[in-house]
Amino acid sequence: MPTIGDYLDPQALARLKGLRLRARRIVEGYVSGMHRSPFHGFSVEFAEHREYVPGDDLRYLDWKVLGRTDKYYLKQYEEETNLVCRLVLDVSESMRYQSEAAPLSKLEYAQRAAAALAYLVLHQQDRVGLVTFDDEVRSLVRPNGHPSHLKDLLQAMEEVLPRRKTSLGPVFHHLAERFQKRGIVVVLSDLFDDVAAIVAGLKHLRLRRHEVVAMHVLDPAEIEFPFRQSTLFRGLEQGPKVLTEPAALRKAYLAEFDRYLRRLKAGCRRQGIDYVLLRTDRPVEMVLSSYLASRG
């Protein structure tokens, strides 16, 4: 059975200590926690007034309003609730890629990021679940808040077999219909697919009132195209093999990659989706701590 130590060393976990994944928008839950709920009660944070009706608890009467208006109004509050976080992990074949400059493949890096987030969510007494997918959903671990649940999540990540193509748009649409309780959906993927389809799928999740975070996992070689000598390129998702001179392609590749990245970021921004770049040559705890601190 894998442990968190198989994915993150103690020093990395120490750097994440004290950080929390907080909801920016309203979420739903069952237990009193630190995230705002859409359900009204008489606790924690003031929300609005409503008129008094016979039988209401007079402890919540707003005496200042009564003094000004001679009318009876009760203070209503928004309850706080536990967060549901769903980690959506791309396990398609392209996630196996690892250049010489990267200590981990994209999948290994994404697994470590997912493990760290799961660890943090459980330690803040919230619930976390996991979905793995390629061209369809491969496994689904339902959200749970028990500390021992981390083992179930790590086991599901350990069992993935990245050998198929990806199909991001249809998978996101499917998950948007499947995830009933609103919360935070964190996608960990290289997002190599049609940008319009990706954004449409993420938009569907937003329309279902989830908060969405797109964690874009990329190898530095995919960003910088550092190849100089004649190179045999092989498509990881059943693509062809091509022997070519990289110098002749570099300018066109970088221009096309820049267009793809700008379209993706702009699409996320329009839908209110957080875009986070995860380069596999940078410590995962450094990138996550920077992002989580910015959310706080």
Other CB atoms closer than 10 Å to residue 101's CB: what's the count?
13
Asked if residues 46 and 75 have their Cβ atoms less than 8 Å apart, the reply is yes
Higher per-residue pLDDT: 16 or 176: 176
Amino acid (one-letter) located at 24: R
- For the stretch 268-279, pLDDT in tens is 999 999 999 999
For 188-219, the pLDDT digits (tens) are 999 999 999 999 999 999 999 999 999 999 99
Q: pLDDT for 146-168, tens place per residue?
A: 999 999 999 999 999 888 889 99
**pLDDT (0 to 100) of residue 51:** 77
Tell me what pLDDT residue 129 has: 97
User: What's the pLDDT at 40?
Assistant: 46
From-to residues of CATH 3.40.50.410 in the chain:
4-25+83-295
Q: Distances from the Cα of 96 to the Cαs of 87, 102, 131, 264, in angstroms?
A: 19, 12, 18, 22
Q: What number is the average pLDDT over the span 78-104?
A: 87
The torsion angles phi and psi of 275, rounded to 5 degrees, stand at -110, 125
Ranges assigned E (strand) in 71-183 = 73-81, 84-90, 127-133, 137-144
Burial bucket for residue 288 (CB in 10 Å: 0-12, 13-18, 19+): buried
Give dist(CA 78, CA 90) in Å, integer. 36
Helix, strand and coil in the chain, % to nearest 5: 40, 25, 35
Beta bridge mates, 45: 78
pLDDT at 242: 63
**Mean local confidence (pLDDT), 74-94:** 80
Q: The whole model's pTM is what?
A: 0.80
pLDDT tens-digit profile of 30-60?
Answer: 444 454 545 444 445 555 667 776 767 777 7
CATH 3.40.50.410 at 4-25+83-295, yes or no: yes
174 to 93, 210, 215: CA distances (angstroms): 21, 14, 19
